[in-house]
Amino acid sequence: MKVLVTGAAGFIGYHTCEKLLARGEEVVGLDNLNPYYDPELKRARLARLQDSNRSRGRLSFHQIDVADAAATTRVFDREKPRRVIHLAAQVGVRYSIDNPHTYVDSNVTGFLNILEGCRKNRVEHLVYASTSSVYGANTRMPFTEHEPADHPLAIYGATKRANELMAHSYAHLFGLSCTGLRFFTVYGPWGRPDMALFLFTRKILAGEPIPVFNGGQHQRDFTFVEDIAEGVTRACDQPATGNPDWDSDHPDPASSAAPWRIYNIGNNQPIQLLDYIRVLEDCLGRKAEMKLLPLQAGDLPDTWASANELQQAIGYQPATPIEDGVRRFVAWYRDYYGM
């Protein structure tokens, strides 16, 4: 099966491609290798994927931006993928506050180009990345897909919520099977330098204070990246179908009469940030100097995923405890940076 994976050189994209290649799929990777963070890290991920001992010729790669409609169309026309996993996006809640146009270009225009490519080439299933940030001002825990998510707190979450609604339009109008996955605070080896675990590790090893927002009191549903990649590939295997019980008088926000589904993909076990830092200190063998700061604009105070629906649909079951996941990240970080 030929699968197009956008954002293939990204954090989650890299691990997803590894899963697909390991089981023998033909993968078409797409990424623009932009400088939002160190492109050398992206190239290193890509080099591992392109290793002939790993991909055995089953991986091809196109360096393009999904916001480039003509280039994206050419990839679809040339490759004719059977299924698409769309992970390319401009990420980061805080960066979106000062750079909103970048998010609309990548996350809205880029997603439209992917939808059009899927429609015109009769792709049988589109799986795409959404985010826990869509829950925004919601405070009822755990977050469930069956409650509305219409109050995002930053443009990043707003663009991803727009993706969910755009996908529904294409599912309704053209019968395009679409599955949206709301990721919850993914961490692990080959992670992004702008995320907490990477940033904290670098600063602790350098003897620098770490910024701890909300005094470290907020909770996050930290989810190990390999568990996420397993969920993404399993979701890809099961095209979304219409919900025969969907009632337009009492509409379920997670499904539709059209072939469209929304799922949380998280660890279903929130952890306080201060506890997360303590685990990291144990793995590094060093204490962190913490600079306690107020909650940052646009951040959710807490996240907690109810992942029951995804478990029932595809057997998704996160299996990595936080102690093991952080240890594996630290081992990768020390090896990659020679520390």
Name the nearest CA neighbour of 92 among 305, 302, 298, 325.
Answer: 298
Q: Give the SS3 label for residue 10.
A: coil
Q: Could you list the beta-strand ranges (E) of the chain.
A: 2-6, 26-31, 59-63, 83-86, 125-131, 178-183, 186-187, 210-213, 219-220, 223-224, 260-265, 271-272, 290-293
Spot the catalytic one: 135, 156, 263, 276.
156
Output the furthest CA–CA distance in the chain (Å, rounded): 59
Say which DSSP state 71 is in. Answer: H
Place of tokens 């609309």: 104
Question: Which H/E stretch holds residue 169?
Answer: helix 155-174
Q: Give the SS3 label for residue 335.
A: helix
Query: What phi and psi values does residue 38 have, to the nearest 5 degrees?
Result: -45, 110
Structure tokens at 282: 């144990």
Structure tokens at 32: 């623009």
Q: Which residues pair with 168 in a beta bridge?
A: none
The runs of H, that is alpha helices, within 265-321 are 273-284, 308-314
Any catalytic annotation for residue 156? yes
Measured distance CA(212)–CA(273) in Å, rounded: 8
Are 221 and 301 in contact by the 8 Å Cβ rule? The answer is: no
Q: Which residues are catalytic?
A: 156
